Amino acid sequence: MNTSSPTVHVVDDDPAVRQSLRALLKSMGRRFAGHANAEEFLKSYDPEKPGCLILDVRMPGMTGLELQKELERTGIEIPIIIVTGYGDVPTAVDALKEGAVDFLEKPFSRKALVDCIDRALAVDRRRRAIAVECGGIDARLASLTPREREIMGQLIEGHANRKIADALGLSVRTVEAHRAEVLRKMQVPSAASLVRVVLLSQREAS
Amino acid sequence: MRKAHAHEQVVQDLPRLGETTFKAIFDMAGTAIIVFDLDGRIREFNPAAERLHGCSRQDVVGKRYMGLFVPKETRNSLRSEMRKIAARDIGHDLEISIHTADGQTRIISWNGTRLRDDEGTATGMIAIGQDITARKQTELALGESERRFRDLADAAPILVWMSDIHYKCTYVNQAWLDFTGLTADALLGDAWANLIHPDDHKLRLPEYLDAIERHVEFKMDHRLRSADGTYRWIYGTSVPRTDTKGEFAGFVGCSIDITDRRRAEEKLRQTNEALEGRVVRRTAELSASVRELRSEIAERKDAASRLESVMRNSPDFIFQTDRDGRISFLNRRLHGDVDDVLNTSMYAWVEEEAHPRLDTALRRVFEEGVADRYEARVTGNGTAEKGTLFVFDISPVILDEHVQSAVVNARDIGAQEQAERRLREIESELAHALRMSTMGEMAVAIAHELHQPLAAVVNYSGACTELASAGGARGTKLLSYLDQISSQTLRAGEIIRRLRGFIEKKEPERGPLTMKSVIEQTAPLLKAEAKHHGVALEFALANDPPTVLGDRIQLQQIIVNLVKNAVEATRDNDENNRRVRIETSAPTDGSIVEVRVSDTGPGLSGEELRRAFEPFYSTKPTGMGFGLSISRSIAEAHGGSLVARDAPDEGATFCLALPTMRQETSREY
């Protein structure tokens, strides 16, 4: 297993449940980290590393939902699979409203578990890709001159060089030079990529 | 004056009338006429004068009137009067008192005039006299009467007054002045009315006015201001008075100060009232006593009839026997007639093997005078079914220090035994129903707890599948997982077994056990409940626990009930402050084992503490209020106790105390 393969975190106060999940996940070649309670997880979790969290809602001390809120508060975006006991649908609904990606009811089948984990890890991957793409966006935007920012605004709105030149009272050649400089500073290969990065970063910011 | 003037005219006209006429008048006149010379000697003396002086003319002519009739003491004053007459021409009136010749005293009113001859020379004097003795006497008498009245009135201790025809007060006596401290002027007229108490004045004025208008007698009580400013009660009467001609002349009245009398009357009235009050009270007391006596009699009758009723309706047989066991009284019919039993022997009631015991009992009762009790089965002879167990309580009836007879109370304890058994059954059923209900309430928690091992089993079996499909290179791991599957399945089975054990319907059965084992056996259920409510459950169970004799299921029921209550008590706490602790400890002497269940909940209020163990009392919205009541019954049936304690700023603690067994008999079942 290489270090970049995602880790499945399990927080459950029942050692049997924890160890059985460890056995199952390891047998499927997954990276596993078991935590007896929420505090333990918070102490050892490294947000830089990819993964997902299988979280039992009912635990002494900090409950699953409280941990979920704590993660939300501190900006940690690990995808969460909520595990509930028998007939605890209202709790599951709350968890989903709070942003959990899925929920499992104990006892759950291997397939259901694997599907949930795969979905959660896909979400994690996507988030991390966006984060990489948008990483340092503020610094990149800051390096633009006012004129370049103006031209970027026109590019995002999808205007052609000619139209931009007319709108800003510049020659097409000048606009082309600015455009090349904007794409270079924003580290994107094309205007389409520029639009995507800016929109993603705006969504992140909101 | 007019009279005197007329008389004067007559005297001046005399000479013109002529001698004859004058003589005739002189003789005929009804009034005494005497003519004197300058020396005061009598010259003429008419018949009227004769009658008046009681002597004849010839007896007096030429003699001095003074010497004949005038008492010595008045002669001087008469002389000076006579000189006044001699000095003037006009007539002069005077009154003198004389002694007549026939020895009477008369008062004469004289008019004397000097006489002159034609030349004007004084010749003497003429006096015309009238007998005014009677009038004088009347006047004198009147004055005396008036004086006597005033003296009397002033001396009288009563207030006397008089008014005129206009009803104005014209006279008040000294007593008035003394009473009011005022002068007569301040009382006369209408002024006196100001002294009447305003209330009485207003009240009685119309009556008074009516009475005086009608000139009738009037009486009234009223208050009058006295000299010291206080009002005193006055009883006044006024009557109309008439003058000598019998015409209305005003009112005369008198009043007396009745203040003291009224006070005395008031006091008398009060005394009377007090006396009457005492009489009333005494009468009431007497009638109360009578009532009490009546009710006492009624009560006694009642008590007698109650006693009779108790005797008659008692489920026991109550009878009287003599020394030989002969029955002389029986409280109720048996199967047959009471008379069939009377005079039979109570030996016939009980089976033969009990007869020696009955001998002993009768001996003790009659010879030692002490009560005795024994149990015996009956023959079925007239009483209950043959072989029924009765308890016989025999007590002596002592009269004059001798045991006169014995009273026997025979009770069918077969029925009692049965009733007690039935009660135990019902209690046991109730306890069972409550256990079922408790488990019903804990079902979600237990289901959750069951899912843990089941989830583990599914996970392990999944892992096994993965390993098996990947090829058998990892046999050790596979075996270990299968081992886990087995143990987690057992874990689930254990929970189910505890659950079944708890809700099992079983005859109560006691055996030696330890509270530690009782608690540990319920632990899976307790943990499930605690976890379900996010409560931390702590166990502090003493090692080397003492043994108690008890029913395992019933004791488990107490523990589950206490823990469940404790868990629910913490439901409003912060999630990190929901704790329940179960601890066992035994005091040093080891005779008692104590199980304490404490929580971090709000504790119990005074009322909750007091009523916690009442049936149907619950602070839980869905509680039936039976749990603690049954738990306490169970504890007490085990010879122990269950109490609640509340420490300020802490939660509640429930203490179950049970007596421990002696060491040699303790072996857990």
CA distance linking residue B503 with residue B505, whole number of Å: 6
pLDDT at res. B644: 87
Q: Which two tokens stand for residue B233?
A: 């009660």
For A109, B173, B464, B467, the CA distances from B478, given in Å and listed in that order, are 19, 148, 6, 7
The string of DSSP letters for A38-104 reads HHHHHHH--TTS-EEEEEES--SSS-HHHHHHHHHHHT----EEEEE-TT-HHHHHHHHHTT-SEEE
- Counting Cα atoms < 13 Å in the Cβ hemisphere of B585 gives 9
Taking CA–CA distances from A109, the nearest residue in chain B reads B458
A137-205 placed in CATH 1.10.10.10:
yes
Q: What is the CA radius of gyration of chain A?
A: 23
CA distance linking residue B127 with residue B36, whole number of Å: 8
Residue A32 has pLDDT above 90, yes or no: yes
pLDDT at res. B664: 45
The CATH architecture to which B316-413 belongs is 2-Layer Sandwich (3.30)
Q: Which of B458, B466, B532 sits opposite A28 (nearest CB)?
A: B466
Cross-chain residue pair B484–A28, CB shorter than 8 Å: no
Judged by CB atoms within 8 Å, which residues 500-559 of B form the interface with A?
Answer: 531-532, 534-536
For A70-116, write each residue's pLDDT tens digit. Answer: 888 888 889 999 988 766 778 888 888 888 888 888 888 888 899 99
Contacting residues of B for A108, CB less than 8 Å apart: 455, 458
**B486 vs A: CB within 8 A:** no
**A19 vs B: CB within 8 A:** yes
Count of CB atoms situated within 10 Å of the CB of B523: 18
Which one, of B251, B161, B163, B190, lies nearest residue B215 by Cα? B251
Q: What is the mean pLDDT of chain B?
A: 82
CATH code for residues A7-133: 3.40.50.2300
Cross-chain residue pair B448–A85, CB shorter than 8 Å: yes
Phi-psi region of B124 (alpha: psi -120 to 50; beta: other; left: phi over 0): left
Bridge partner residues of A31 (DSSP): A7
pLDDT at res. B1: 40
Q: Is the dihedral of CA B274, B280, B286, B291 positive or negative?
A: negative
Q: How much of chain B exceeds pLDDT 70, in percent?
A: 91
Q: What is the CA radius of gyration of chain B?
A: 69
Contacting residues of B for A62, CB less than 8 Å apart: 575
pLDDT at res. A41: 92
> pLDDT grade, residue A203 (50/70/90)?
low
Q: Which two tokens stand for residue B515?
A: 């509270």
How far does the CA of residue B456 sit from the closest CA of chain A (Å)? Answer: 5
Which one, of B17, B24, B55, B48, lies nearest residue B34 by Cα? B48
How far does the CA of residue A14 sit from the closest CA of chain B (Å)? Answer: 7
For B309-353, write each residue's pLDDT tens digit. Answer: 777 777 778 888 888 888 887 776 554 555 666 778 888 888 888
Instruction: Over range B68-89, report the average pLDDT.
Output: 85
CATH code for residues B2-131: 3.30.450.20
Helix axes A15-27, B475-503, angle to 10 degrees: 150
Which residues, in sequence order, are CB contacts of B54 under 8 Å at separation 6+? B100, B101, B102, B103, B104
CA distance linking residue A20 with residue B450, whole number of Å: 15
By three-state DSSP, how is residue B589 classified?
A: coil
Going from N- to C-terminal start, the domains of chain A cover 7-133, 137-205
Q: How much of chain B exceeds pLDDT 90, in percent?
A: 4
CA distance linking residue B629 with residue B82, whole number of Å: 144
Helices (H), B533-626: 552-569, 606-611
CA distance linking residue B231 with residue B627, whole number of Å: 85
CA distance linking residue B168 with residue B407, whole number of Å: 104
Instruction: Over range B498-513, report the average pLDDT.
Output: 81
Pairing assessment for the beta strands A7-11 and A51-56 based on DSSP bridges: parallel
Cross-chain residue pair B535–A106, CB shorter than 8 Å: no
Count of CB atoms situated within 10 Å of the CB of B314: 13
Cross-chain residue pair B484–A26, CB shorter than 8 Å: no
Which residues, in sequence order, are CB contacts of B237 under 8 Å at separation 6+? B217, B218, B219, B253, B254, B255
CA distance linking residue B405 with residue B411, whole number of Å: 19
pLDDT at res. B559: 92
% helix / strand / coil in chain B, to the nearest 5? 50, 25, 25
Query: Which of B299-308, B351-360, B613-622 is the least confident region?
Result: B613-622
Where b means 16+ CB within 10 Å and e means fewer, B616-648 reads ebbbeeeeebbbbbbbbbbbeebebebebebee
Residue B6 has pLDDT above 50, yes or no: no
CA distance linking residue B110 with residue B96, whole number of Å: 8
Q: Between B285 and B618, where is the model more confident?
A: B285
Most confident range, picked from B239-243, B253-257, B453-457 = B453-457
Number of residues in chain A: 206
Q: Between A59 and B301, where is the model more confident?
A: B301
Q: How many CB pairs under 8 A join A and B?
A: 88
Q: Which of A23, A28, A107 sits opposite B481 (nearest CB)?
A: A23
How far does the CA of residue B515 sit from the closest CA of chain A (Å)? Answer: 26
Residue A120 has pLDDT above 80, yes or no: yes
**B489 vs A: CB within 8 A:** no
Pairing assessment for the beta strands B122-131 and B32-37 based on DSSP bridges: antiparallel
By three-state DSSP, how is residue B108 classified?
A: strand
Most confident range, picked from A2-11, B102-111, B495-504 = B102-111
Residue B370 has pLDDT above 90, yes or no: no
Going from N- to C-terminal start, the domains of chain B cover 2-131, 139-257, 316-413, 511-669
Tell which CATH classification among 3.40.50.1370, 3.90.1310.10, 3.30.565.10, 3.10.180.10 matches the domain B511-669: 3.30.565.10
How far does the CA of residue A190 sit from the closest CA of chain B (Å)? Answer: 46
Residue B667 has pLDDT above 80, yes or no: no
Bridge partner residues of B105 (DSSP): B99
Q: What is the mean pLDDT of chain A?
A: 85
Cross-chain residue pair A60–B448, CB shorter than 8 Å: no
Superfamily of domain B139-257 in the CATH hierarchy: PAS domain (3.30.450.20)
Which residues, in sequence order, are CB contacts of B267 under 8 Å at separation 6+? none
**A115 vs B: CB within 8 A:** no
How far does the CA of residue A30 sit from the closest CA of chain B (Å)? Answer: 12
pLDDT at res. B213: 83
**Which residue is associated with the tokens 């996940």?**
A25
Bridge partner residues of B326 (DSSP): B345
Residue B407 has pLDDT above 70, yes or no: yes
> pLDDT grade, residue B195 (50/70/90)?
confident
Burial of B338 (0-12, 13-18, 19+ CB in 10 A): middle
**A108 vs B: CB within 8 A:** yes
Residue B541 has pLDDT above 70, yes or no: yes
CA distance linking residue B78 with residue B61, whole number of Å: 20
Burial of B62 (0-12, 13-18, 19+ CB in 10 A): exposed
Taking CA–CA distances from A14, the nearest residue in chain B reads B452
Which one, of A97, A24, A95, lies nearest residue A105 by Cα? A95
How far does the CA of residue B531 sit from the closest CA of chain A (Å)? Answer: 7
> pLDDT grade, residue A51 (50/70/90)?
very high
Q: Which of A27, A58, A88 sits opposite B466 (nearest CB)?
A: A27
Q: Which of A20, A28, A66 sits opposite B460 (nearest CB)?
A: A20
**Fold match, B2-131 / B139-257:** yes
Contacting residues of B for A58, CB less than 8 Å apart: 448, 531-532, 534
pLDDT at res. B152: 80
> pLDDT grade, residue B502 (50/70/90)?
confident
Q: Which two tokens stand for residue A39?
A: 């505090």
For B101-157, write each residue's pLDDT tens digit. Answer: 888 888 898 888 888 888 888 888 888 988 888 888 888 887 888 888 888 878 777
Residue A27 has pLDDT above 80, yes or no: yes
What type of residue sits at position B383? T
> pLDDT grade, residue B616 (50/70/90)?
low
pLDDT at res. B595: 92
Helix axes A146-156, A161-168, angle to 10 degrees: 130
What type of residue sits at position B88? R
For B29-46, write each residue's pLDDT tens digit. Answer: 888 999 988 888 998 899
Cross-chain residue pair B448–A113, CB shorter than 8 Å: no
Query: Quick one: CA torsion of B424, B430, B433, B435, rounded to 10 degrees?
Result: -80
pLDDT at res. B666: 44
Element (H, E) at B482: helix B475-503
Residue A117 has pLDDT above 90, yes or no: yes
pLDDT at res. B9: 47
Which residues, in sequence order, are CB contacts of B334 under 8 Å at separation 6+? B317, B341, B382, B383
